[in-house]
Amino acid sequence: MSSVGFVMLCHTALDRAAEVARHWAERECPVVIHVDKRVSAKANAWLQSTLSDLPNIRFSKRHKCEWGTWSLVAASQTASEVMLTEFPSVRHVYLASGSCLPLRPVEELKEYLAARPQTDFIESVTTQDVEWTVGGLNAERFQFRFPFSWKRQRFLFDRYVEMQRRLGLKREMPEGLVPHLGSQWWCLTRQTLSAILQDPARKAHDAFFKLVWIPDESYYQTLARVYSRQMESRSLTLSKFDFQGKPHVFYDDHLHLLRRSDCFVARKAWPRANRLYDTFLRADQPGSQMAEPAPGKIDRVFAKALERRTRGRAGLYMHSRFPNLDWENGKTCARYSVFQGFRDLFEDFEPWLSRRLGARVHGNLFDPVRARFAGDTDVYAGCLSSAAKLRDYNPQHFLTSLIWNTRGERQVFQFSPRDNQKIGWFLSSDSNAQISVITGAWAVPLFLSNRDFGEIRKEAAMMQKQEVEFLNILRSVKTRADVRIWSLAEFVEEPMENLQSILDAMDGPSAPRLTEAPRMANLDGFGQFLQNLKNQGMQPFVIGDFSATTQGSQTKPGDNRPYLVKK
Amino acid sequence: MKVIKRYGLRLRRKKYRLRAMRKRWQLLPVADRTDLIRPRDVLCFVTLRNERLRLKYFLEYYRDRGISHFFFVDNDSTDGTREFLAGQPDCSVWTTDASYKRSRFGMDWLNWLLMKYAHGHWSLVVDPDEFLVYPFCDSRPIPALTDWLDASSIKSFGTMLLDMYPKGSITAQPYHDGQNPFEIACWFDAGNYQIKRNWQFGNLWIQGGPRARLFFSERPERAPALNKIPLVKWNRSYAFASSTHMLLPRGLNHVYDEWGGEKTSGVLMHAKFLDTFTLKAEEELERRQHYANSHEYKAYHAGLNEDPNFWCKWSERYINWRQLEILGLMSKGNWA
């Protein structure tokens, strides 16, 4: 007794199709095969002769099949008619393709269907609820006419759609039909299928669907809604599509995934996946008895692949991911911090910060002599070289590589107007950057240095110019970085509070309060130093207002007293 | 792109094809088994000179991964390379004593063979020290990849050349016939590459890695290019423009995604830095047959005299393709 019959649409890999057909036929399931008319007569004859020993296999009239056109529906109609007339004992008709692979023993499928004798398994979703269509055509599939081939006549196809859109053309649905879409692989009961095929209005239905786009995803799906007594809107065939609308292919390494899916049939298997075919066709190993199909795990694998293809990994630049400007989905892969001026103001800023964060802190990565990695090594994570010329050859990739290579470990580095400034725009436009600047802090080492004043004045002017340029970048409307800017005068008013605010932003509001302060340089006489610069005609405006005599001692940085913040 | 520029590239492609046709007279057939090629075979094309020692493993590697037929252009070898290859059942061999440099580093010869034999075939163009690693290469052969690329309407497959090196002196462990070179040279640089766009040809230009780090830190612009497009569904109107770094028509160079996504890509593992290299560098320097006056080999020669150690404590040891994928050196894209 046969309760389920298979209709197979074949066009390539006929040897595999023959194996699968034999598998089903030998287990008392009648099979009707439709071979694409584009397949050579020789190959077709081969297929017929290989399967000639099986009494329950038929071949239906051949149609020339092309994706997205009516021909596929016509093929399944003729084959289904053969099935219904030649095998009266068949209760469910299962539509499969030549590259489908049965995953569970036929006996289990028979039992499953026998327990649900009136149920049609066909995915059928209204057009509003579909998100997987190619080309964004949902409702329009039914409203427009599609006489041109999408694959061969793309230009005409697109122009004709455009024209209909402009003119606002709309076709009338045949009476009583509501457009539905779904997977083209279904399993229908004899009653439903024959009702569709023997409908007195079939001529009108066929005429309408002949001009619908991809009718094999809508013809049965729409009509089954009219006749089905009990419908499960899902396909028994596991079939996943990628973003181009083509089915994902299964290989030998998917064996375990497929086994655990508990689906009955999968589409489509790579014809040369020997292990898959050997495993699933040769043995009738029972799965978990009567388990419901659970394609969830496979769904996740393919959803991940889609995400990888369309969004990629943020902050990665490589030979198959090179996003245009502002299409990076994140210019770098993790958050990092940039400090400008802190190292000038505090004598032991880097070791202090390193202790405080429990992380390695870099020096000036863009130092003109060489990249100052933490520990001043020649090479750093990912074999990044500290050589200045290599770095300056492409500063942006130097930085993105560093952040990528050290994923999972927050990067912190110093920046200064002395450094190579080419990276400025990138830093300010990167939302992962946290940039803290004490403007004018570059004056502190000059003040403490033992150099001729003329030289100092010249350098101060140069530094100020560089810093102003950087500040302009940081204040531009395009800035996405988390930026904090203080003038030196502002900062020394409340150094601990300001440091605390930076650290809070770094590791969230739960950050412990600062207990140990970095040592600030002795600024006694700094006000006078600034006055001297002014007297020489250089206006150090980025430093802010230090009064000539009192400022340095007012904040008392000179007595090296740690700033203890009491809770 | 401007019409004039496009037309310029078209002329250039025609020029390369004409060159290839002209240079075919330099090729003498040694073994021609091209009648064995079946319609869907994946083919492999190689130019080489004195590489006898490497060939056993090379052939084994690619046969295992489903390459059906090999094309070799032997540039006047003296170490038995030609004889060895002529004895292989799936190799067709040509030989020439003409200038490697003047055939655009072998590309004219290969363009001719590709034009004549590869039309409609997926074709892999590599050097004997380049080993293709692609997603799932441990469980799926190259034809699985090319079938998938066909189904996705993709015509070319991009890779990056990944320089592999041993720990310590490169002469310390001698390489023997048939050995997997990555038993010795199993280390690589994971994250020091720089990428630029070549707007004219539409390809990416990648530099970096251990060679840039050791030999070109003062002149990074001269570091060798690492972008390669070795696997192409060939059409007789195509031509390689500069090694396998770029092709014409330029659309084939577009193996990367510009909108944030990742296309499926692989890695060409480069087994150049074995003990055979010092000899090779010296010989090549003498022949002066390499790119841009062989300055690459000059740099190596200068560097190698100090017996360099590519290895550093940040070097990664090669495990498998999944490791390379995690490190961001290749991508599965949407092939799952």
**Residue carrying structure tokens 């090729």:** B27
Per-residue model confidence (pLDDT) at position A562 = 43
* ipTM, interface predicted TM-score of the complex: 0.92
Please report which helix (H) or strand (E) contains residue A107, including its range.
helix A106-114
Using CA coordinates, name the residue in chain B closest to A312. B261
Residues 6+ apart with CB under 8 A from A349: A339, A342, A343, A414, A518
Confidence band for A131, pLDDT divided at 50, 70 and 90: low
How far is Cα A280 from Cα A287, in angstroms, rounded to an integer?
A: 11
Q: How many CB pairs under 8 A join A and B?
A: 178
Q: A550 versus B46: which is more confidently predicted? A: B46
Confidence band for A558, pLDDT divided at 50, 70 and 90: very low
Note whether A248 contacts B264, CB cutoff 8 Å: no
- Which of A311, A312, A385 is opposite residue B213, by nearest beta carbon? A385
Chain B environment of A308 (Cβ under 8 Å): 261-262, 331-334
* The token pair that represents A422 in the structure block: 């080419």
Taking alpha carbons only, the member of B119, B56, B45, B113 closest to residue B88 is B56
Give me the residue spans of the domains in chain A: 4-117+236-310, 336-554
3-state secondary structure of A43: helix
pLDDT, average across residues B39-53: 93
Chain A environment of B335 (Cβ under 8 Å): 305
- Cβ-in-10-Å burial (0-12, 13-18, 19+) of A283 comes to exposed
Taking alpha carbons only, the member of A354, A357, A318 closest to residue A504 is A357
How far is Cα B330 from Cα B227, in angstroms, rounded to an integer?
A: 12
pLDDT above 60 for A144: yes
Per-residue model confidence (pLDDT) at position A553 = 42
Q: Closest Cα of chain A to B128: distance in Å?
A: 22
Using CA coordinates, name the residue in chain A closest to B315. A383
One-letter amino acid for residue A6 of the chain: F
Tens-place pLDDT, residues A397-447: 999 999 999 998 999 999 999 999 999 999 999 999 999 999 999 999 999
Confidence band for B295, pLDDT divided at 50, 70 and 90: low
Tens-place pLDDT, residues A82-113: 999 999 999 999 999 999 999 988 988 999 99
Task: Check if the beta carbon of residue A538 is closer than 8 Å to that of residue A467.
Answer: no
Strand partners, B91: B70
Mean of all residue pLDDT scores within chain A: 87
Instruction: Write out the DSSP string of A408-429.
Output: TS-EEEEE-TTS--TTHHHHHH
B160 reaches A (C-beta below 8 A) = yes
Note whether A323 contacts B315, CB cutoff 8 Å: no
The number of helix segments (H) and strand segments (E) in chain B equals 9, 15
pLDDT, average across residues A268-279: 92
- Which of A251, A312, A398 is opposite residue B139, by nearest beta carbon? A251
Tens-place pLDDT, residues B58-109: 999 999 999 999 999 999 899 999 999 999 999 999 999 988 888 888 899 9
The percentage of chain A sitting over the pLDDT mark of 90, rounded to a whole number, equals 54
Instruction: Write out the DSSP string of A479-509.
Output: --SEEEEEEHHHHHHSHHHHHHHHHHHHH-T
Note whether B328 contacts A244, CB cutoff 8 Å: no
pLDDT above 70 for A13: yes
Q: Closest Cα of chain A to B315: distance in Å?
A: 6
B323 reaches A (C-beta below 8 A) = no
Instruction: Write out the DSSP string of A436-473.
Output: EEEETTTHHHHHHS---HHHHHHHHHHHHHHHHHHHHH
* The token pair that represents A471 in the structure block: 């500040």
Note whether A322 contacts B256, CB cutoff 8 Å: yes
> For chain B, which domains are there?
3-326 (3.90.550)
Per-residue model confidence (pLDDT) at position A557 = 43
pLDDT above 90 for A52: yes
Using CA coordinates, name the residue in chain B closest to A304. B334
**Total-model pTM:** 0.89
Chain A environment of B210 (Cβ under 8 Å): 383
**Residue carrying structure tokens 């000036």:** A364
Note whether B262 contacts A385, CB cutoff 8 Å: no
Q: Closest Cα of chain A to B308: distance in Å?
A: 15
Chain B environment of A328 (Cβ under 8 Å): 260
Residues 6+ apart with CB under 8 A from A377: A386
Note whether A320 contacts B331, CB cutoff 8 Å: yes
